[in-house]
Homo-oligomer: A and B are copies of this chain.
Amino acid sequence: MGRVAYQELEDTITQAFVRAGMADKKARLCARFHAEASRDGVYSHGLNRVPRFVHYLANGWVDPHAEPAPVRQMGPMEVYDGQRGPGILNALTATDRALELAAEHGLGLVALRNTTHWMRGGAFGWYAAQRGKILIAWTNTESCMPAWGAEDTRVGNNPLVMAVPRPAGPVVLDMAMSQYSYGKLQTTRLKNEQLPYPGGFDAQGNLTTDPGAIEASRRILPTGFWKGSGLSILLDVLAAILSEGSATRGIDEIGIGNCTGCSQIFIAFDPERLGSADHMQRIVDEMAEYVNGSSPVDASRPVTYPGQNTVSTRQDHLRNGVVVDDDIWQEVLALAGKGGIS
C-alpha cells in the first residue's frame, strides 16, 4: 500500500477515463467520485474499480455519452431512463433532480431505470447532506446472494443509503444487504485472515468465517440472516416498480453483470422548505451526543454513528495522501498513459 496525493489521484483517473472515450467534463466528474471513494476509505468502489469501469467502456457495456431521458412526471415524482450511461453520472443527475424537486415541494422522488453501477452509493448521501438535504436512496443489482434458506444466488445485495445533514459531520448510512462484500472476502483471504463474524456458508452448508470457503460456495450471508434477505427482496421490487424498470431477475436476464440495467430510487427532503431545519439540527445533535455517550465495549473504540469515522479517514488521506493498492495504481497510471511511472 502506498499513498498518492488526492489531486494526483483524481487527475490520473480523469486521464484514464478520457483515454477510454469519455468527454472531459464527464471524465472529471466520474473520476472525482472514484477518487473521493478512496479518499474516504471505500477502496472497493474507488481507485480499485477504475480498471473494471474502463473495461466496461471498452466493451460498450456503458455508453459514455448517454444521458438520462425523462419517462414520466407527476408532481414531486419523476421517472428517468438511464440509457445505460455511466452509473455515477446518471445517479448524480437523479440526485440533483430529487434535490430540486425537494426544494420546490418539500420532498422529491426520482426513480431511475436502465442505469449502470453507481459505484459508492454513499457518495450521493454525502452529496445531498452537504447541501443541507436529506436523502434516502437504493439500487437493485444482479443476483449475488442466496435468499434465506436457498443454496443458489437469486437475490441482489441492493445497497441502501440514508443521509441526514449535520454541520459537525453528516449522518450517512451506506449498507449492502450482504454481511460482507465479495471485496471484503477477497482482501481478508489475501491477508490469510478470518472474517470477524460468519460471512456465509461453506460447501457443507455450515456457517463459516473462512472467506475462501464462501467465495467457493458463493453462499454469502444476508445481513441478519432472513432479515437482510427479505429487505433485499423488497428494495428490489420497489426500485423496479417505481422506475418501471428491471428487478434482479431482469438484470440477470440482461446478463452483463456489474448492475447493468439496474433500477434506483432517490428520495430527497428539504428541511428548509419543510420548515423543520432547526428541529433537524436538534435531533441529530442529540442523537450524536446520546450514541457517542454510550459506554463502549472496548474503551479504545468510542461508539459512533454512521458516517462519523469517515471524517477522520478523509482528513488523514487529504493530509498524508490517499492510501492506494500499488499494483492497481500502476495499472491506472498505465491506463492514463503515464506509462506506469509513479
Contacts and interface: CB of A to CB of B under 8 A. Distances in A.
Interface of A: 72, 74-77, 105-107, 109, 134, 136, 146-152, 154-155, 160, 162, 164, 171, 173, 175, 179, 197, 205, 223-225, 227-228, 230-231, 233-238, 240-242, 244, 247-250, 269, 271, 273-276, 279-280, 283-284, 286-287, 290-291, 293-298, 301, 303-306
Contact of A241 (B147, B164, B249): B164
Nearest to A242: B269
A244 B248 CA distance: 36
A238 B74 contact: no
A264 B338 CA distance: 55
Given A77-B106, A297-B205, A287 B227 contact: no
Contacts of A75: 75-76, 105-107
Contacts of A148: 303
A186 B228 CA distance: 24
Nearest to A289: B249
A294 B147 contact: yes
Nearest to A174: B230
Contact of A234 (B279, B286, B306): B306
Contacts of A236: 287
Contact of A291 (B74, B154, B269, B293): B154
B294 A233 contact: no
Contacts of A240: 279, 283
Contact of A225 (B164, B197, B241, B279): B197
A78 to B, nearest CB: 10
Sort A-B residue pairs by CB-CB distance and give the 4 closest, nearest first.
Answer: A223-B224, A150-B294, A224-B224, A162-B234
